[in-house]
Amino acid sequence: MSNQSKIPVAVLGATGAVGQRFIQLLNNHPFFEIVALTASDRSEGKTYAEAAHWILDTDIPDAVRNMVLLPTNTTALNAQAFQYAFSALPNENAKDVEPAFAAAGVLVFSNASYYRMSKDVPLVIPEVNVDHLGLLKHQQKARGWSGGIICNTNCTVSGPAMSLRPLYDAFGVKRVFSVSMQAVSGAGYPGVPSLDIIDNVLPFIKNEEEKLNQEARKLLGTLKDDHIEDAELAISAHCNRVSIIDSHMVTMSVELETPATPEECARVMREYRRKELIGLPSAPAQAIVVRDEADRPQPRRDRMTGNGMSCIVGRVRAEPLFGNTGVKFITLAHNTIRGAAGGSILNAEALQI
Amino acid sequence: MSNQSKIPVAVLGATGAVGQRFIQLLNNHPFFEIVALTASDRSEGKTYAEAAHWILDTDIPDAVRNMVLLPTNTTALNAQAFQYAFSALPNENAKDVEPAFAAAGVLVFSNASYYRMSKDVPLVIPEVNVDHLGLLKHQQKARGWSGGIICNTNCTVSGPAMSLRPLYDAFGVKRVFSVSMQAVSGAGYPGVPSLDIIDNVLPFIKNEEEKLNQEARKLLGTLKDDHIEDAELAISAHCNRVSIIDSHMVTMSVELETPATPEECARVMREYRRKELIGLPSAPAQAIVVRDEADRPQPRRDRMTGNGMSCIVGRVRAEPLFGNTGVKFITLAHNTIRGAAGGSILNAEALQI
Amino acid sequence: MSNQSKIPVAVLGATGAVGQRFIQLLNNHPFFEIVALTASDRSEGKTYAEAAHWILDTDIPDAVRNMVLLPTNTTALNAQAFQYAFSALPNENAKDVEPAFAAAGVLVFSNASYYRMSKDVPLVIPEVNVDHLGLLKHQQKARGWSGGIICNTNCTVSGPAMSLRPLYDAFGVKRVFSVSMQAVSGAGYPGVPSLDIIDNVLPFIKNEEEKLNQEARKLLGTLKDDHIEDAELAISAHCNRVSIIDSHMVTMSVELETPATPEECARVMREYRRKELIGLPSAPAQAIVVRDEADRPQPRRDRMTGNGMSCIVGRVRAEPLFGNTGVKFITLAHNTIRGAAGGSILNAEALQI
Amino acid sequence: MSNQSKIPVAVLGATGAVGQRFIQLLNNHPFFEIVALTASDRSEGKTYAEAAHWILDTDIPDAVRNMVLLPTNTTALNAQAFQYAFSALPNENAKDVEPAFAAAGVLVFSNASYYRMSKDVPLVIPEVNVDHLGLLKHQQKARGWSGGIICNTNCTVSGPAMSLRPLYDAFGVKRVFSVSMQAVSGAGYPGVPSLDIIDNVLPFIKNEEEKLNQEARKLLGTLKDDHIEDAELAISAHCNRVSIIDSHMVTMSVELETPATPEECARVMREYRRKELIGLPSAPAQAIVVRDEADRPQPRRDRMTGNGMSCIVGRVRAEPLFGNTGVKFITLAHNTIRGAAGGSILNAEALQI
């Protein structure tokens, strides 16, 4: 696409940790061009560089450095028209702001959790359920919107859901015992105090364990005309915060519906492809990368696989407690790329198919 | 006991990480007095302070600073008689050295894994199975030893085994899905390279997952005259190394034999007492400390509970995947105190009952 | 002292990080008894256990767990009389609150920086300048207070000032080039975000470099009746935050007035005693502990030397850039004990001499 | 260059930490093509992927994965001819091996310290002293070699030396008080034990402080026909290891020969260019990047500036202890790229000018 034909987009809540990732990943994007950034009232009218306490390891892109921040409400559209909005808003703001933009004709790709479980809102990881985007037209009709809301998932569920998709399709999945070791960036900025994490583990993350089960059931579910029929599986989780910057690792002990060897499980994960996504800028060459080494994946060494968009799986082996229907392994996914900003951008790309 | 009546003891492999903990914990011990320290040939003849690269956070006790290191074989007994030996030897040395000392009349309290699963060797956490010490006389008879070998457990199994004891007794335990987050000190010194653990998790620890199941079954088993009948339960584990100095945290998803609420489970753990251990110097006032806060235990803040000898349990809640026979929680135990040197010392103390 | 004769004290700002240290260190103190805790309006009326997010590695002392929080103003004295107040208030509150209590007859031992450089306020590290407490009577007279304010120092200056005292007395000190590597606890709680410090160093701490010079000059200065004549020395600092929980390490390249060898410098530091402090509960047996190992002190291994109240010095060697008047070394001091709560408590103890 | 015309190169000591960086940075290099990898006898005959415990955050390049390791001596040349050798050998091996290859006609670009201070061996950071490469012909003549040895610097000196070059040229430099905070990767692999660095700082690195002074004097010195006349400046250092993966940060308190303001110092550093290096593949667009933010550079966020080849400077401000000839600032440089493998590769590139 030439610059003229790029879709004009906004980032809502652009100064926070996820907003920064959206900006970083949208820089020089072939489909989208940032034309507006919004922030809280406190920052309105400042340039982005003045207002943002930039925390990423690359510098602020020049294209947005001097962009003046707009208010996070639909009056922003008066200043600058845009078709899509990538929302990095906290839940309490997303609740009112996202529907307002949707009603005003904007497609909102949301990273907030507020509407994820709404019946007519697609909750999408394209590699898992790109067809769920079909809900959008029902949402628009039901709510009388010309725009709409499309949600990405909780960052912790992205690895497990991606790895379960081929297993669910091939063998069925009944139960999963999972334990997460999550990066501090998942809590945003300032987020986790360093006094809480140096030489320590935090064995609790609010609401996280419930989401893992709920969202995975919807993600792996089936689109039935105007709603999603949840997948029949159950995930139990222990969620922990550990001393790593980025990426969430999740151990998986899976009970399948039908027998399968670890080799068969590794094979279906490794061979999993979603043809319709081929060529999308943010789609990784391989959705699921299965590693054979005994001690991989590791967060620091593997999180950038597929530019941070792959789900990395390792240690696929038998789960003896489930006999011949058991398999266990670990998944790793970059929480602020795959599990947040990158995921929403891929959702928007998938809409161009 | 006066100093004269203290039992003279040696530490075998005294310069390594676990050897140092033995020395630290035996300093001014009311029952035992260190009279000999052994090390590899390379260090023999040097004073302890010269040979040891001391890594603990308290200084080398004055009592051993100038003690001259003896060879790690029974000729050490010519230089200095001792009744007990606390063994911090690596497996490959323990294999030959520990039986030799046992044959020479020394009671060896071993931290090595080599003899743990031997039929006539007691594998003991006193709070779990102090009665298994009864195997010792069969070992002595069968092997014609006046001494003997008594093993402690793998550091990772100590928390899970202690927490399971009251559950097993009250409700029965069938299956446990567990995931560990283990301290770097568990790998000894130099052990885990810092390049492997800063901003990282290592999702593999050699042989660790198997030991957790095997040792727990023996620990929770029943003494039948001259052998242990393993407990009928199965533990599946994912073992991980995380960036913490000391203590292993283990998540537990437990399937009980009979229904029990989380409250009932918490109660039996909290009320668990082993009366015969009361008053032993290393026995913590409370074997299992159950915390009610949503985010405890935490390694850095809780590992020294009970002077590092308690098993700390937290987040006791329902395990929905096992219906009314399910409970999940986390355990924390200090790996080089409870799970290594302190555990062996308590084994030796328990023999004085 | 019996309990009846203990001095009743309050902790102002008791729920924060320094407030917690005051409570921890005052528990079972032989001279003082906590009778009141104050907090912000938000917490007033709650029990301490309800209001405080306790972050230390020992539990909340039972003696204060159910104490009801009072407001941080002199109306607290109506609820509960106390003679001393240990102030963990932020500067903006300290400004008004501390004088108000002083006017109401309370001796305030402050950890805030607001009054440190005031002409009539003693800024004291007892081992460095216990005689400066003599300013108090001038303060009381000048301000018409029956109480008063006595300040401790910035946490970073405590190690350097303690180590410089004997050098200054013996050889004179002209210039010091210093660089700090400071613990995250120095920034309070929540303080330093973990995203800023894992695999990172922060090379800037607001106002810290200036304080190091200013406060050291006052600390090492001379009491002249009603004011302090600053010491004639200059300290230049680079202050950095590194990934450690507690204790500040500071490198020192010192230009002396008169020639001295590293051995002589080490000797005067090692032999330094302040006789009048002997027997005070918080005074360490050795004010300055000089270590001979090539790689000590180290923060995690040495910070608790002297119960966290010693200044630990290491690597005393020639500073070639200053010829025969140069010496360089490192200092380590526990920032929240020696450099904060413990320091103020020792100031209060010193007043009992 | 087409592949045919690329210079065939070897990496000596290819399996270690620096060897891995050489391989990573030489992958798809426009000038050089790896044709041989050598390792210790233990690994000889294995493929690279079998023998190397790869520790970097990108995977082993396919081009070397199945390359069979050769012995680290000149018999390797029988198996495979190469013109250049990048040496990642430890000093004890470099001593004999590097001259042997040089005598056999190979140009050795060494990362070892053994020959750095030899009179006829160029010690080069191209941005600092590319003209010192002129020593090579004297070396070849004096030693009768058709090849030769060209050294890069100690990783810690690269940032300070680069930042001092423009200051030295513009204002003269007399003395520098410096303190380093160095990454664990500087100690190789396994290198620093994690037990030594979590929640800790190591205040000593063997031989490092001396090298900083020696090497900087040679680097900033003047080529006088067949030798280097050392620069007349003196650097005093305190070297510390901190908990970061890559990059060394060094604080600098500089005494200039002639007065200069911080702004003037920042300007000459920022404007510093070495025209002859423009266009070399590894030369960063800007040799010295001066940042204006109060809290930059930071290791994790800034080390990859200029693909890890820039020297990043920050906090340029007055050094009051040196009056109007004083300036202080911090430098940051990536230790295993700029200060090791990348530096040697740029040396080899500079020879193509």
Interval A102-139: pLDDT, tens: 999 999 999 999 999 999 999 999 999 999 999 999 99
Pairwise CA distance, residues B260 & B258, whole Å: 7
**Model confidence, pTM:** 0.97
Domain count across chain C: 2
pLDDT of residue A2 exceeding 80, the answer is no
Evaluate whether residue B1 is within a structural domain. no
Would you state the pLDDT for residue C1?
47
CB pairs under 8 A between A and B: 115
Would you state the pLDDT for residue D41?
87
In the predicted model, what is the mean pLDDT of residues A67-93? 96
Claim to verify: residue B178 and residue B267 sit in the same structural domain: yes
Beta carbons of A238 and B249 less than 8 Å apart: no
Helices D208-219/D158-171 angle, 10° precision: 40
Would you state the pLDDT for residue C4?
64
List the single best residue of D194, D196, D336 to mutate versus B (max B Cβ within 10 A).
D194
Claim to verify: residue C150 and residue C166 sit in the same structural domain: no
Would you state the pLDDT for residue C2?
52
Nearest to D198 among A199, A245, A300 (CB): A199
- The token pair at A342 is 């990158």
> Which segments of chain C have a pLDDT < 50?
1
- The token pair at B3 is 């100093």
Claim to verify: residue C143 and residue C164 sit in the same structural domain: no
Claim to verify: residue C213 and residue C96 sit in the same structural domain: no
Q: Which one of the listed residues B132, B138, B151, B155 is annotated catalytic?
A: B155
Beta carbons of A243 and C194 less than 8 Å apart: yes
Claim to verify: residue C253 and residue C273 sit in the same structural domain: yes
State the smallest CA–CA distance between residue A174 and chain C in angstroms.
Answer: 37
State the smallest CA–CA distance between residue B69 and chain D in angstroms.
Answer: 25
pLDDT of residue D235 exceeding 80, the answer is yes
Would you state the pLDDT for residue A114?
97
Peptide bond into B297 cis (omega under 30): yes
Burial of D286 (0-12, 13-18, 19+ CB in 10 A): middle
Nearest to D244 among C179, C201, C244 (CB): C201
In the predicted model, what is the mean pLDDT of residues A70-85? 96
Evaluate whether residue A323 is within a structural domain. yes
Q: Among this protein's residues, is B248 annotated catalytic?
A: yes
Q: What is the CATH number of the domain that holds D296?
A: 3.30.360.10
Evaluate whether residue D209 is within a structural domain. yes
State the smallest CA–CA distance between residue C89 and chain A in angstroms.
Answer: 20
State the smallest CA–CA distance between residue D55 and chain B in angstroms.
Answer: 8
Nearest to C204 among D244, D315, D319 (CB): D315
Nearest to C203 among D200, D203, D249 (CB): D249
Claim to verify: residue C145 and residue C161 sit in the same structural domain: no
Question: Mind listing the pLDDT tens digit for each residue in A168-203?
Answer: 999 999 999 999 999 999 999 999 999 999 999 999
Beta carbons of C203 and D300 less than 8 Å apart: no
Grade residue B4 by pLDDT with cuts at 50, 70 and 90. low
Backbone dihedral angles phi then psi of residue B242, each to the nearest 5 degrees: -125, 170
Evaluate whether residue B2 is within a structural domain. no
Question: Mind listing the pLDDT tens digit for each residue in B141-159?
Answer: 999 999 999 999 999 999 9
Claim to verify: residue D61 and residue D101 sit in the same structural domain: yes
Grade residue B139 by pLDDT with cuts at 50, 70 and 90. very high
Would you state the pLDDT for residue A4?
64
Evaluate whether residue A1 is within a structural domain. no
Claim to verify: residue D127 and residue D44 sit in the same structural domain: yes
Would you state the pLDDT for residue D123?
98
Pairwise CA distance, residues D324 & D328, whole Å: 12
Pairwise CA distance, residues C298 & D312, whole Å: 28
Q: What is the CATH number of the domain that holds A79?
A: 3.40.50.720
Residue A137 CA to chain centroid, in angstroms?
Answer: 22
Task: Report percent pLDDT > 90 for chain B.
Answer: 97
Backbone dihedral angles phi then psi of residue D148, each to the nearest 5 degrees: 175, 175
Mean pLDDT value across chain B: 97
Would you state the pLDDT for residue A1?
47
| Side chain identity, residue A9 | V
Grade residue A55 by pLDDT with cuts at 50, 70 and 90. very high
- Residue A278 contacts by C-beta under 8 Å, 6 or more apart in sequence? none
In the predicted model, what is the mean pLDDT of residues D267-293? 97
* Pure H helices in B220-294: 262-270
In D, which residues are within 8 Å of A17 by CB distance? none
In D, which residues are within 8 Å of A55 by CB distance? 301
Claim to verify: residue C126 and residue C208 sit in the same structural domain: no
Claim to verify: residue D137 and residue D165 sit in the same structural domain: no
Claim to verify: residue C188 and residue C143 sit in the same structural domain: no
Would you state the pLDDT for residue A41?
87
- Can you give the residue range of the structural domain that contains D123? 7-154+341-350
Neighbours of D107 (CB within 10 A): 24
Beta carbons of C194 and A199 less than 8 Å apart: no
Question: Mind listing the pLDDT tens digit for each residue in D13-72?
Answer: 999 999 999 999 999 999 999 999 999 988 989 999 999 999 999 999 999 999 999 999
Would you state the pLDDT for residue B1?
47
In D, which residues are within 8 Å of B199 by CB distance? 245
Helix (H) or strand (E) holding B350: helix B342-350
CB pairs under 8 A between A and D: 16
- The token pair at D243 is 């908990």
Question: Mind listing the pLDDT tens digit for each residue in B23-78?
Answer: 999 999 999 999 999 999 889 899 999 999 999 999 999 999 999 999 999 999 99
In B, which residues are within 8 Å of A179 by CB distance? 179, 238, 251
Would you state the pLDDT for residue D324?
97
Claim to verify: residue C145 and residue C178 sit in the same structural domain: no
| β partners of residue C313 | C290, C331
In A, which residues are within 8 Å of D245 by CB distance? 300
Would you state the pLDDT for residue B248?
98
> Helix or strand or coil: residue B326?
strand
pLDDT of residue D2 exceeding 60, the answer is no
Evaluate whether residue A198 is within a structural domain. yes
Question: Mind listing the pLDDT tens digit for each residue in B13-34?
Answer: 999 999 999 999 999 999 999 9
Q: Among this protein's residues, is B239 annotated catalytic?
A: no
In B, which residues are within 8 Å of C245 by CB distance? 300
Peptide bond into B190 cis (omega under 30): yes
Evaluate whether residue D185 is within a structural domain. yes
